[in-house]
Structure 1
């Protein structure tokens, strides 16, 4: 197992060792746009029996000075960061790896497992044994929707670049996808996310725009891990848009009660419980 990651490509991460078995799987968490690795803290605390790796994506958290320029470049950095963690903490080269992504993180991991793995042999050094998609968009169906999305993302990117970030965030969290949040939850998110650099967020938003993402669903549906384990799609019962995407996808789907788009923040115990079930099935190879 090798890693040729330069300092520029190095993403900030936090590794949490398993409390019991050194042979436990490694669970890799990728956050959403505006987030950071510590968004997963409550879930991490609920899964002490697993090795865990939380990554700060380019332009976010402690990776705020790392620029994201494309899906492939970011996926290359994610892969190299996982390899770096395995080597640095002396995990087995064949440790089972389960990828867990939320929103933007989910889109990147889906891309990594389908499009990127065909062009980057490094990923084949990892024993990827599972994929959990939380509120991830598979892609837009036509050029008209892609053009509309690009216009929207470009406008947001310009605002992040030019305006006071707290002002932009106040509007950002009024979008329909965040309708399950109350006023207090919005204010807490605005305060937490305001530490980010607007220019870095602008770069990442344009680099990984949904308008630039191919339709990943056909390829995601063909993914099979050990013992015919499939990817799992998770979203909140109040997240109408992504519930419809999940139901129509044909993937194994798990709705989480009393949650909107950001399940792992709104219902971390329920999310961790479902993730544990998936990990146990992944390890044992048992079927539903």
Structure 2
């Protein structure tokens, strides 16, 4: 097993990533959600052992990844191209993909625009975006208020209070009572609120163009994972599974929006069944 954790520069990103290369084992690319980082999928990766190789990275605005050019680099289409460049740099021609929430939206964009690079894809608590301009404008307005809070934070205590508020949302179910919550919170606190604000501003749901029409034509096999307490994303993912026959939905018990943390063993079981 070869392990590399490095910063590799090529314009316009300096991606911080970890590549665990188990020879002759297929690669899984993991994309974390908003406020996550390179460690988001550590527990599932431990359970998967040596059956796969693993590529994890900090998305722009998160962790130690640096954006070396303008704010347009935070947009979904440019971020996706940056990830394809990273795959090329690592000589990974094809791989599996797992994307969570924001990383799931990005993962779907990658799947639709670079289908030849991905064998099978798991989207966890994700969507193809909002379907009309009115919805997007309303979401942009909401995200703008959140962005303002983030970019004005000076004291670390403010960020911790923000996280406490964030994870009170109904979609997260009982996440705050999970034994792994405090460790997740510590990882979230390692982010820079200013850069998170830029990520939300340019890679948030409101700013993303709808992928619904393109999704209907997708041919890459998809598994849609959603927690039983996450009613909003259950509705969205049921529609997704109805309009594209390559997409199969699995509702995970004892989990809300963050399935891979709240029910890690079942998450890994579904991953194994789908990818092997």
TM-score, normalised via structure 1 length: 0.81
- Report the counterpart of residue 106 of structure 1 in structure 2: 104
Confirm whether residue 36 of structure 1 aligns to residue 37 of structure 2.
yes
Q: 1:31 to 1:111 in 2, by over 3 A?
A: same
| Partner secondary structure for residue 252 of structure 1 | strand
- Report the counterpart of residue 143 of structure 1 in structure 2: 133
- Report the counterpart of residue 162 of structure 2 in structure 1: 168
- Report the counterpart of residue 75 of structure 2 in structure 1: 70
Cα distance in 2 for residues equivalent to 1:97 and 1:152: 35
Deviations 1:97-149 (A, max 9, x none): 111100000101111222xx3xxxxx57x642111110012211222221110
Which has more strand, going by share of residues?
A: 2
Q: How does 1:11-160 map to 2 (within 5 A)?
A: 11-18=15-22, 22-47=23-48, 48-63=50-65, 68-86=73-91, 94=93, 96-114=94-112, 117=113, 123=114, 127-160=117-150
Confirm whether residue 240 of structure 1 aligns to residue 231 of structure 2.
yes
Cα distance in 1 for residues equivalent to 2:67 and 2:204: 19
Match for 2:173 among 163, 176, 179?
A: 179
Deviations 1:36-73 (A, max 9, x none): 12110111112221111011101111215666431111
- Report the counterpart of residue 270 of structure 1 in structure 2: 266
- Report the counterpart of residue 214 of structure 2 in structure 1: 219
1:187 Cα deviation from its structure 2 partner:
5.3
Cα distance in 2 for residues equivalent to 1:128 and 1:141: 25
Deviations 1:156-190 (A, max 9, x none): 01100012322222222222222332356665544
CA contact (8 A) 1:139 1:214 kept: yes
- Report the counterpart of residue 197 of structure 2 in structure 1: 202
- More deviation in 195-204 or 214-223? 214-223
Deviations 1:180-215 (A, max 9, x none): 323566655444312211110011100112112222
Q: 1:179 to 1:269 in 2, by over 3 A?
A: closer
Match for 1:6 among 2, 5, 10?
A: 10
- More deviation in 204-213 or 160-169? 160-169
- More deviation in 178-187 or 41-50? 178-187
Cα distance in 1 for residues equivalent to 2:264 and 2:195: 28
Q: Please, which runs of 5 or more residues in structure 2 have no aligned partner?
A: 1-7
- Report the counterpart of residue 257 of structure 2 in structure 1: 261
Cα distance in 2 for residues equivalent to 1:279 and 1:263: 18
Structure 1 ranges of 4+ moved more than 6 A:
none
1:10 Cα deviation from its structure 2 partner:
2.9
Q: Please, which runs of 5 or more residues in structure 1 have no aligned partner?
A: 87-92, 118-122, 281-288
**Alignment root-mean-square deviation, CA:** 2.2
